[in-house]
Structure 1
Amino acid sequence: MDLDEALALGRGPYELAYFGGTFTALPSPWPEAFLGLAMRYRERGLITHVRCSTRPDCVDEPSLALLRAQGLDMVELGIQSFDDEALKTSGRGYTGDVARAACEAVKASGLALGVQFLPGLPGDRPGMFASDMRIAADLEPETARLYPCLVINGTPMARMWERGEYEPWSLKRAKVELSEVLPVLWEKNVRIIRLGLAPEGTLEGNILAGPWHPAFGQSVRGMALLKILRAEIVRFGKKPVCLDVPRRYSGEIYGHGRELAPRYFELGVPESSITFVDGECFQLS
């Protein structure tokens, strides 16, 4: 369905995203043409928000401000990491300082900031991803996407992996690492809009190695919630009789396939003591 058909059928409103390329590096008149198209549908009420993705070494405040004036609302930067060694080993072509400066430029231009990271890149070492997330949280982006690094058939990374020069994270490590940093981002009100690659098209058949699972995000969010609730139960100081959980977390609190239910039982919170309620607050009693 194209935009005209959606408009005629009364669909929407929608957000429009220009992804899959380096939007801010496109030569004129392409950015103006794409944003002009979005504006025409925005004026008719079909489009309410426009975002793009780009590299951190392809932005500057004046050009971003111009794109904002033409109707762009958000820029998602493919940061991948702030670590210079990992960026160099992975052939990204910029430094951590450039990535940080790009984040500041997006915010200074008046655009909303989104960040994207690839934990487990070549050059990774213990503690690096956690450090990246602390830096990201301090920059206070509006959104974040976290894609644990996968080895995809036909890519330079696949050749590195075949030569034994790169080993991606295991699924277990990826779940643990990401679940430990989510609270750091949540504390700064960063909205996590993607955890792991979506199971699209022929992706799964071309993954040679790495931590991919169709319910990866559900598992990670469940583990992060468990970590937070465990700390609160310890702070509570006694065995709780009841745990009230906001209903919107009902699909995540136990993780994927109820994998975390035994962990709650070990904490003294069996399923019979958990109640899903309307509202936004967890409550121990």
Structure 2
Amino acid sequence: MPEPLVFAHPEPAPAPTRIWPVFLPFAGCPHRCLFCAQDRQTGRDRAVLAPILADLERDLDAALAGGRGPYELAFYGGTFTALPAPWPEAFLALAARFRERGLVTRVRCSTRPDRTEPAVLDRCRALGLDLVELGIQSFDDAALAASGRGYGGGAARRGCARVVESGLALGVQLLPGLPGDREGLFQADVREAAALHPETARLYPCLVIEGTDLARAWRRGEYVPWAVDRARDELARALPVLWGHGVRVIRLGLAPEGTLTDAVLAGPWHPALGQTARSLALLSIIRRKVAELGRGPVSLTAPRRYQGELFGQANELAPAYAALGLPRTRVRFADTAVFSLA
């Protein structure tokens, strides 16, 4: 019998520690973008920083006393590098105190690519910041202008370069399906983002959320969001590209936080969007391996960790695997780290 084709899943290993998110909705933001719904996601219409800092200190103390952790502390929801003094210093100093005590292992923040002045990044790095997630959304001038981001593709690229040059790790957030979208735009954004070799990426297909300017444009018939099927297929195409460049994709679609679920009016909202995209991406990988095998496969042995993912939600991909010559009776799951296609 010919030798089996053995291969690993291309997805990079997950981070070793859990994220502790700290939400600072709208804090430091110069304006509100067309699609922004931080208030719906976090349940807060603005960030009052003093009580957030006090609550964080109390909660970190409790976690330390309870023997929990360690954690990666993450400041989300605003423009961290544009917070007025002394707030960046205050939050990073608190993180440093708990880092010394072993509860916090790493610190990250999210910010806009046009708020990446080298002096600010250098100061934040000196105070203990490790990773900056940039809300790029797109590298396309037309889509950024139509979405009211206030910067163009050049600023997005410069922001990424500045983060890397500062010695900080880079994270990239993309928002496919923005106003101004056109066929092929998201995949071009993905290729450009992957070429930067960021540590992480988040992919958030654009949703129409009550209370946003985008919702008003949608009601006027000026914006048509992606359908769920398109979002799933586009994300599935994007994942192998990012994985192939060593990028950990840490989020697919918005999490159902705050009052977000009830506020979604239109767009590719589905609780299993990420799972279905990952399943389709895995199918595309196995399909390529079957072609590489050069003959009809006899069996597939897969790592047990992919048992809930391989055939898709409610076994929706079972017919596709059967068409490859891999019906369920020829697929087995085992305690292994690699796939084996015989």
The interval holding the TM-score normalised by the smaller chain is over 0.9
What amino acid maps onto 2:112 in structure 1?
A: R
Q: Where in structure 2 are the equivalents of 1:195-234 lying within 5 Å?
A: 195-234=252-291
Q: Larger deviation: 242-251 or 202-211?
A: 242-251
Secondary structure at the aligned position of 2:249 is classed as strand
Between 212-221 and 197-206, the greater mean CA deviation after superposition: 197-206
Structure 1 residues 62-114: Cα deviation after superposition (integer angstroms, max 9, x where no partner): 32121111000100000000000000011111011110111111111111100
Greater relative contact order: 1 or 2 (C-alpha under 8 angstroms, separation 6 or more)?
2
Question: 1:131 is matched with which residue?
Answer: 188
Please list, as runs of the form range in 1=range in 2, the aligned pairs for 1:21-170 lying within 5 A after superposition: 21-170=78-227
- Match 1:255 to one of 285, 309, 312: 312
2:229 aligned with 1:176: no
The CA deviation string for residues 97-155 of structure 1, in whole angstroms up to 9 with x for no partner, is: 11011111111111110000110000000000010001001101000000000000010
Cα deviations by residue, 1:222-269 (Å, 9 ceiling, x for unpaired): 001101111111221112111121222222112222211221111110
Matched with 1:185 is 242
SS in 2 for 1:2: helix
* Higher mean C-alpha deviation, range 56-65 or range 19-28: 56-65
2:44 counterpart residue number: none
SS at match of 1:122: coil
Deviates more, 1:83-92 or 1:232-241: 232-241
The one-letter code matched in structure 1 to 2:85 is S
Q: CA deviation at 1:279?
A: 3.4
**TM norm structure 2:** 0.82
Please give the alpha-carbon distance, in whole angstroms, between the structure 1 residues aligned to 2:246 and 2:305: 17
- Equivalent residue number for residue 325 of structure 2: 268
Aligned with 1:208: secondary structure?
A: strand
Task: Confirm or deny: 8 A CA contact 1:62 1:109 kept in the other structure.
Answer: no
Alpha-carbon distance in structure 1 between the residues aligned to 2:275 and 2:269: 13
Q: Which moved more, 1:275-284 or 1:102-111?
A: 275-284
User: By how many angstroms is 1:29 displaced?
Assistant: 1.0
| Cα contact 1:52–1:75 (8 A) shared by 2 | yes
Unaligned residue ranges in structure 1 (runs of 5+): none
Cα deviations by residue, 1:12-63 (Å, 9 ceiling, x for unpaired): 1111111010000011111010000001111101111110000000002232
CA distance in 1, matches of 2:154, 2:335: 44
Deviates more, 1:99-108 or 1:235-244: 235-244
TM alignment of 1:5-20, pairs within 5 A: 5-20=62-77
Helix, strand or coil at the partner of 1:76: strand
- Once the two structures are superposed, residues 192-231 of structure 1 have per-residue CA deviations (whole angstroms, 9 ceiling, x without a partner) of 0000011223211111000011111000000011011111
Instruction: Give the RMSD, CA atoms, in angstroms.
Output: 1.1
In structure 1, the residue matched to 2:30 is: none
SS at match of 1:192: strand
* Equivalent position amino acid for 2:286 in 1: L
Give the letter aligned to residue 232 of structure 2: K
Q: Give the whole-Å Cα distance in 1 for the aligned partners of 2:141 and 2:94.
A: 38
Q: Label 1:62 to 1:278 Cα distance change in 2 as closer, same or farther (>3 A).
A: farther
- CA–CA distance in 1 between the matches of 2:282 and 2:100? 41
Taking the aligned partners of 1:89 and 1:279, their CA distance within structure 2 comes to 48
Matches of 2:337 and 2:163, distance apart in 1: 31
Distance 2:182 2:151 in 1: 19
1: CA distance between counterparts of 2:285 and 2:80?
A: 38
* Maintained 8 Å contact 1:152/1:208: yes
Measured in 2, the distance between the counterparts of 1:49 and 1:172 equals: 36
